[in-house]
């Protein structure tokens, strides 16, 4: 039977996709007084809530609880017996996801946003007269009219034909985070030692799986500071997680009783792969975590003239407008950093720019600024970073001073039994903070102070003149900032050249001009 098509409702702004980019943008637009349609074909909250940030962090919380139990003896507590009920771990994860999803639905309702469940597709239109958007629902199709559009359709796991993902033994993160997945594999093979690979390795190694990771590059999480990579590798070694680097994975297949991956060295040129020496790895299940593809199918992009580049929607990097005036793209789908907080931030920018062009709103346009973006890998220990890494600073020709402080020298960390390291980089001439990397308990939170400092162009001196509560992990930030100029109190001094020391001491005494 043909589907009924109705055209009636008119909106200021229509958002396609209700992940952290789209649902956040919808609320922001309503706060400005806009009439908003939010279209979602699956569940509110998108990848982040249903198949990403939140379910992984719920599983990691259980895994880290277990890890703490293993250390209990050191803290004077003997635990004679306990057992893991992974079904309950998964139920807790599902409950958290469901509660947060209901919260998002409540918020959309409170802001009087209209929620459409179905696949959104832009049919046509223009900046002056507005656009037509079709919602392909299970029962009915509907067409709405809208003045402006934000595309926030996100991303899905990248797949390679040779990796034969069958969702039974060869899985993506979507499969493992499915509400019904309740298996702890005896041996888990992970392809890709990026963020997803490392977080899942941490989860399953803690629950008792043997974990082997195959990574193409010479190092896991290759973009991080080398010292930090060394520490996480050490931690993984202690957990029995095996990371095989420089592996070109040629094939992954389900062999009935398990999975098999065939690799050769990543250094073998592509025309010599056939004759190259191969290695074989077998396990019970395999997770493919080699990056993500942007969701751009069946959105009406080509027909409208919205351009794409390497699978992502092209946008003006400062306004987030696509090649079609009045249509914006935010979050994973525009090819920028794939982080939930970046998607939400971009939502704010795109909403301001979409509504500023409509006379009835008193909204100023906004430009993006990506200089200060924090990120965290939620392994235990956490890895948090913001701004530049040492190599990036060198490549950009920025002269830097480096301050490092170990957790083992901090009273609070010692009480907590935590190890780790915080590195702060500052511009040698201005002492402005240009980056920081941290591995250790609470790194994700410690990095927030440095993020705020960087956002406001603050210097090492601004941090060292701030009183930090004792005993807290936040004193790591104070000590690492002091270490930048060789003045950390709880660390032996690192001699810096007499001339530089004089300059720095003078700056400390009189304050320095901020750029
Ligand atoms: P998405 O969250 O992907 O949402 C897009 C939504 O659009 C989806 O709900 C989809 O169903 C919908 N959609 C697509 N096409 C249509 C259409 N045509 N019509 C209607 N609806 C449509 N980031 C962090 O910052 N921190 C983390 O800890 C973190 N952990 C992660 C863990 C995992 C396992 C994964 C996979 C990702 C993680 N991320 C994390 C990344 C984060 O999830 C994404 O960057 C973020 O979800 C992107 O938000 P988005 O709104 O752009 O897209
Ligand atoms: P990723 O880009 O972080 O890592 C993929 C890894 O797979 C890389 O190290 C790459 O070298 C390797 N790889 C690629 N192809 C390979 C092959 N054929 N054989 C072997 N190794 C191969 O991508 P990942 O882990 O899939 O995560 C996707 C995105 O999700 C990340 O970019 C991140 O932005 C986001 N994310 C963020 C999290 C957080 O903020 N805590 C957590 C999880 C995901």
Domain count, the chain: 3
- Supply 292's token pair: 């993500």
Let me know whether 7 and 150 are in one domain: yes
* 232 contacts: CB under 8 Å, gap ≥ 6: 198, 220, 221, 224, 377, 379, 381, 383, 439
Query: Residue 264 C-alpha to ligand 2 middle, in angstroms?
Result: 20
Gap between the Cα atoms of 480 and 492, Å rounded? 12
Atom of ligand 2 nearest to the CA of 221: 9
Give the Cα separation of 424 and 47 in Å (integer). 32
CB 94 within 8 A of CB 179: yes
Q: Look at residue 219 and tell me if it is in a domain.
A: yes
If asked whether residues 329 and 416 sit together in one domain, one would say no
Determine how many CB atoms are found less than 10 A away from the CB of residue 136. Answer: 16
Residue 363 located in a structural domain: no
- Calculate how far, in angstroms, residue 192's C-alpha sits from the geometric centre of ligand 2: 6
Cα 365 to middle of ligand 2, angstroms? 34
Residue 380 sits in the same domain as residue 444: yes
Catalytic residues: 470
Residue 483 placed within a domain: yes
Write out pLDDT tens, residues 305-357: 999 999 999 999 999 999 999 999 999 999 999 999 999 999 999 999 999 99
Same domain, residue pair 421 and 404: yes
pLDDT of 491: 84
Strand partners, 300: none
pLDDT at 510: 43
Indicate whether 240 pLDDT > 50: yes
What local confidence, expressed as pLDDT, does residue 406 receive?
Answer: 96
Closest-CA residue to 350 (of 29, 125, 38, 16): 29
Whether 100 and 138 map to the same domain: the answer is yes
Distance CA 154, CA 255 (A): 33
Residues 6+ apart with CB under 8 A from 80: none
Cα(27) to centroid(ligand 2), Å: 30
> Residues 184-198: pLDDT tens digits?
999 999 999 999 999
pTM: 0.95
What's the confidence (pLDDT) of residue 485?
A: 87
Average pLDDT, the chain: 94
Distance CA 132, CA 146 (A): 6
Instruction: HSE, CB side, 13 Å, CA atoms: give it for residue 419.
Output: 5
How large is the average pLDDT for residues 487-507?
A: 67
d(CA 210, CA 188): 6
Task: Give mean pLDDT, residues 396-402.
Answer: 96
| Model confidence band, residue 415 (pLDDT cutoffs 50, 70, 90) | very high
pLDDT band at 6 (very low <50, low <70, confident <90, very high): low
pLDDT at position 511 is 43
- Domain boundary, last residue among 307, 322, 356: 356
Ligand 1 pocket residue status of 479, Cβ below 6 Å? no
> Among 290, 306, 333, where does a domain finish?
290
Residues 194 and 230 in one domain: yes
The answer to whether the beta carbons of residues 327 and 321 sit under 8 Å apart is yes
Contact 436, 422 (CB under 8 A): yes
pLDDT at 512: 41
Site to probe by mutation for ligand 1, drawn from 338, 340, 346 as the one with most ligand atoms within 8 Å of Cβ, is 340
Report yes or no on 453 lying in a domain.
yes
pLDDT at 498 over 80: no
* 257 and 403 share one domain: no
The answer as to whether 368 is a domain residue is no
Residues with CB under 6 A from ligand 2: 191-197, 199, 214-217, 222, 249, 289-292, 338-339, 375-378
Domain enclosing residue 470, as ranges: 375-514
Tens digit of each residue's pLDDT (9 = 90 or more) over 258-300: 999 999 999 999 999 999 999 999 999 999 999 999 999 999 9
Same domain, 458 and 499: yes
The CATH number linked to 465 is 3.30.390.30
Atom of ligand 1 nearest to the CA of 155: 3
User: What residues have CB less than 8 Å from 215, skipping those under 6 apart?
Assistant: 192, 193, 197, 243, 244, 245, 246, 247
Q: Is position 361 within any domain?
A: no
Q: CATH number of the domain that 193 lies in?
A: 3.50.50.60
- pLDDT level of residue 513 (50, 70, 90 thresholds): very low
Distance 198 CA to ligand 2 centre (A): 9
Whether 384 and 506 map to the same domain: the answer is yes
Establish whether residue 50 lines the binding site of ligand 1, counting it when its CB lies within 6 angstroms of any ligand atom: no
Per-residue pLDDT band for 486 (boundaries 50, 70, 90) equals: confident
Reported as half-sphere exposure (CB side, CA atoms, 13 A), residue 38 has a value of: 32
Counting ligands in written order, which one lies closest to the CA of residue 384? Answer: 2
pLDDT of residue 8: 73
Residues 11 and 132 in one domain: yes
Ligand 1 close to Cβ of residue 301 (< 6 A): no
- The reported pLDDT for the residue numbered 496 is 60
Whether residue 21 is found in the same domain as residue 95 = yes
Give domain status of residue 335, yes or no: yes
- H helices of 111-225, where? 173-176, 195-206
Same domain, 479 and 386: yes
């Amino acid at each position: 039977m043909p589907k009924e098509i109705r055209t009636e409702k008119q909106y200021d702004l229509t958002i396609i996709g209700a992940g952290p980019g789209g649902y956040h943008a919808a609320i922001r637009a309503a706060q400005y007084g806009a009439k908003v349609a939010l279209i979602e074909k699956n569940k509110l909250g998108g990848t982040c809530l249903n198949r990403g940030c939140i379910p992984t962090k719920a599983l990691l919380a259980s895994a880290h609880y277990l890890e703490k139990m293993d250390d209990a003896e050191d803290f004077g507590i003997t635990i004679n017996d306990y057992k893991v009920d992974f079904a309950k771990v998964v139920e807790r994860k599902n409950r958290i996801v469901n509660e947060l999803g209901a919260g998002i639905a409540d918020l959309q309702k409170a802001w009087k946003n209209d929620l459409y469940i179905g696949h959104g597709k832009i049919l046509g239109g223009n900046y002056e007269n507005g656009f037509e958007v079709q919602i392909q629902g299970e029962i009915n199709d509907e067409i709405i009219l809208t003045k402006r559009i934000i595309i926030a359709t996100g991303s899905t796991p990248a797949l390679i034909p040779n990796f034969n993902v069958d969702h039974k033994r060869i899985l993506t993160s979507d499969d493992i985070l499915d509400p019904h997945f309740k298996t702890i594999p005896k041996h888990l093979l992970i392809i890709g030692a990026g963020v997803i690979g490392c977080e899942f390795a941490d989860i399953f190694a803690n629950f008792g799986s043997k974990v082997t990771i195959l990574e193409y590059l010479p190092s896991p999480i290759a973009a991080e500071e080398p010292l930090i990579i060394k520490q996480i590798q050490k931690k993984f070694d202690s957990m029995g997680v095996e990371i095989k680097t420089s592996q070109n994975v040629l094939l992954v297949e389900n062999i009935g009783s398990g999975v098999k991956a065939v690799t050769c060295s990543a250094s073998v040129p592509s025309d010599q792969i056939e004759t190259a020496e191969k290695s074989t790895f077998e396990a019970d299940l395999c997770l493919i975590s080699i990056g993500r593809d942007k969701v751009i199918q069946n959105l009406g992009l080509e027909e409208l003239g919205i351009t794409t580049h390497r699978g992502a929607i092209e946008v003006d990097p400062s306004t987030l407008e696509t090649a079609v005036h009045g249509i914006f793209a935010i979050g994973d789908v525009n090819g920028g950093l794939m982080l939930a907080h970046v998607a939400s931030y971009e939502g704010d920018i795109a909403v301001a720019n979409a509504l500023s062009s409509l006379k009835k709103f008193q909204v100023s346009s906004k430009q993006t600024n990506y200089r200060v973006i924090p990120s965290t890998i939620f392994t235990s220990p956490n890895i948090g970073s913001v701004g530049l890494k040492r190599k990036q600073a060198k490549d950009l020709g920025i002269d830097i001073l480096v301050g490092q402080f170990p957790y083992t020298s901090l009273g609070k960390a010692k009480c907590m039994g935590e190890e780790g390291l915080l590195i702060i980089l500052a511009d040698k001439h201005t002492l402005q903070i240009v980056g920081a990397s941290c591995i250790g308990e609470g790194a994700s939170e410690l990095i927030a102070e440095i993020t705020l400092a960087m956002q406001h162009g603050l210097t090492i001196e601004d941090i060292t003149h701030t009183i930090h509560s004792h005993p807290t992990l936040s004193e790591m930030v104070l000590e690492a900032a002091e270490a930048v100029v060789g003045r950390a109190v709880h660390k032996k001094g690192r001699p810096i050249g007499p001339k530089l020391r004089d300059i720095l001491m003078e700056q400390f005494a009189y304050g320095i001009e901020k750029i």
